[in-house]
Amino acid sequence: QSVLTQPPSVSAAPGQKVTISCSGSSSNIGNNNVAWYQQLPGTAPKLLIYDNNHRPSEIPDRFSGSKSGTSATLGITGLQTGDEADYYCITWDASLNGGVFGGGTKLTVL
Amino acid sequence: EAQLLESGGGLVQPGGSLRLSCAASGFSFSSYAMAWVRQAPGKGLEWVSAISDRGDTYYADFMKGRFTISRDNSKNTLYLQMNSVRAEDTAVYYCARDAPGASHHFDYWGQGTLVTVSS
């Protein structure tokens, strides 16, 4: 049971938009920035978003991030079949004095 | 470009020990914090441990003193000593470089090494 709560799955049609939430507390998201990863089957995670809403240069602007209070959100627009993957949020937890991942969300592009 | 290459995984009996290594290249290893992340078969990512560039260490609660992270900057290598392993420690273990920025995140990952705990 992760301290960061993500929906187990989300789905949407190609071309549509989807959002994935990551809910935490004041000891983690509430006082620390959030990053997001995409993981395709059998591969290492790929960084999508860091510092809540910054994208590495190679990540298209279809991917966006935001944070409000103790929750963060990953947004993906213009969905493509290649976006089907597992998505994870991560932040630092001051109470645990360590990093924490969300449980992960499986995105299905119908 | 930065590269990370894990080794040391394999089959180990419950209660046994294993040392994972992560050889780093393509960047100034001593200047970066490093971490281990694991993923059990069919499960999500799990943060395991981290070590700062100065050698400060951080551990997930579940390890309860069984694992030790260390680094040898002269060899550009990160280690994870795993003792008293349990079946639930079976996972792919990734080595990752802590990235610059305000958030705790990793910009480079290794390909992972599989640890299987079974009798």
Q: What is the pLDDT of residues B78-94, one digit of tens each?
A: 999 999 999 999 999 99
Residue in the block written with tokens 């929750």: A71
Q: Is A91 on the interface with B (CB under 8 A)?
A: yes
Q: Which of A1, A9, A39, A47 to mutate to test the interface with B (most CBs of B within 10 A)?
A: A47
Instruction: Give the separation between CA B91 and CA A72, rounded to whole angstroms.
Output: 28
Rounded average pLDDT over A86-98: 95
pLDDT above 90 (res B103): no
Q: Is A104 on the interface with B (CB under 8 A)?
A: yes
Q: Is B86 on the interface with A (CB under 8 A)?
A: no
Q: Give the per-residue pLDDT at B84.
A: 95
Q: Give the per-residue pLDDT at B7.
A: 96
- Phi and psi torsions of B66, nearest 5°: -80, -30
Q: Give the per-residue pLDDT at B118.
A: 95
Q: What is the pLDDT of residues A31-67, one digit of tens each?
A: 999 999 999 988 999 999 999 999 999 999 999 999 9
Q: Is A103 on the interface with B (CB under 8 A)?
A: yes
Q: Is B52 on the interface with A (CB under 8 A)?
A: no
Rounded average pLDDT over A17-25: 97
How many CB contacts within 8 angstroms connect chain A with chain B? 74
Cβ of B105 within 8 Å of Cβ of A98? The answer is no
Taking CA–CA distances from B62, the nearest residue in chain A reads A96
Q: Give the per-residue pLDDT at B102.
A: 75
Q: What is the pLDDT of residues B6-47, one digit of tens each?
A: 999 999 999 999 999 999 999 999 999 999 999 999 999 999
Rounded average pLDDT over A59-83: 97
Chain B nearest CA to A73, separation (Å): 15
- Min mean pLDDT across A79-83, B61-65, B75-79, B111-115 is at B61-65
Q: Give the per-residue pLDDT at B62.
A: 84
Q: What share of chain B has pLDDT > 90, as a percent?
A: 90
* DSSP states along A70-95: TEEEEEE-S--GGG-EEEEEEEEETT
Closest CA relative to residue A73, chosen from A13, A22, A108, A107: A22
